[in-house]
Amino acid sequence: RALMEGLSFWLRDNLEALYKHGIVLPYPEIIAIGGVTKATELMQIKAEVTGCRIRVPHISEAAATGAALLAGVGVGAFLSSEEAAAALHHTETTYEPADEARAAYDDIYHKIYLPARHSVLGTKDATEGATIDERRGSAQT
């Protein structure tokens, strides 16, 4: 469980940094692909640590399918990559963050994870700018 939580905090930390530097927009959901999506407990933990809905497509080999769809765009089977991507939007499973767990993980993230990372790496945390909670308001309006 500690490994799953650590990976999830690392994901949140990276999403915070990408948002702070204007690389990604507010993200109310994450689409997860690959074999790791079969780890249902990990998917739920990721939802609670990041505060994002996690959607798992019905296609188990989404990366290979995506490559095939882009090839379809190249040969004219789809008019655009957006049209091809629509073929992957069939969700099999959705993980929603539970409010109580979300609050507990948020507390751990700020009081334990970020100070520990700063202590080990000597870096400042990614949340000095806008944070996930600030983005929630802008993403939901």
CATH class for the domain made up of 2-134: alpha beta
- In the chain, where are the structural domains located? 2-134
- Band of pLDDT at residue 91, cut at 50, 70 and 90: confident
Q: How far is CA 2 from CA 7, 19, 58, 100, 121, in A?
A: 9, 26, 28, 18, 20
> In the numeric block, which tokens belong to residue 50?
């990041």
Is the per-residue pLDDT at 12 higher than 50?
A: yes
Residues 32-51 have pLDDT tens digits of 888 899 999 999 999 999 99
Q: At what angle do helices 132-140 and 2-20 cross, to 10 degrees?
A: 70
Residues 127-138 have pLDDT tens digits of 554 455 555 544
